[in-house]
Amino acid sequence: MVKLEATAAELLKSQSLPLGLDAQLLDDLPEQPGVYLFYGENALPLYVGKSTNIRSRVLSHFNSDHSRARGMRITQEIKHVEWIETAGEFGALLLEARLIKERQPIHNRQLRRERQLCAWQLSPDPAAQPC
């Protein structure tokens, strides 16, 4: 009985691609840092995410053992995937934040909030006055 349960658990962890999503597109996913965008029926993104390995992160969304209903709902809505490679993790983080604020994907809640931003400016002259 234990072997049957273990086999069933392994099958549930297998990847299941959303209906209508081209499997060839997923083969083209890079193993580089960057941002990925999930689209549904229209041109507005459903979700924007970042990763140090776009391929593994996107494929992880398609595991059958969705621990939360939200993950399953996103997966069922996906019809198209796009990605933008970046030079590293920091670039992916900045690009993700910018795209979420610009495009307002429905499944990205936290970064959509408008907040006032602040910046620091370092000056080599300690006596320099701020602008």
State the total domains in the chain. 1
Can you say how many angstroms the Cα of residue 93 is from the centroid of all Cα atoms in its chain? 10
Q: Which domain holds residue 36?
A: 12-103
Mean pLDDT of the chain: 81
Count the Cβ atoms, other than its own, within 10 Å of residue 46: 21
Return the amino acid letter for 110: Q
Distance CA 24, CA 59 (A): 13
90-107, pLDDT tens digit by residue? 999 999 999 999 999 998
Domain membership of residue 111 (yes or no) is: no
Radius of gyration of the chain (CA): 19
Q: Is 2 a domain residue?
A: no
Looking at the domain assignment, is residue 96 inside a domain?
yes
Q: For residue range 64-97, what is the model confidence (pLDDT) as tens digits?
A: 555 566 666 778 889 999 999 999 999 999 999 9
**Does residue 94 form part of some domain?**
yes
CATH of the domain at 19: 3.40.1440.10
**Residue 64, H or E segment:** none
In a domain, 57, yes or no: yes
What digits encode the pLDDT tens for the residues 35-75? 999 999 999 999 999 999 999 999 888 875 555 666 667 78
Q: Is residue 126 part of a domain?
A: no
pLDDT for 67: 57
Q: Is residue 5 part of a domain?
A: no
**CA 33/CA 50 separation, integer angstroms:** 8
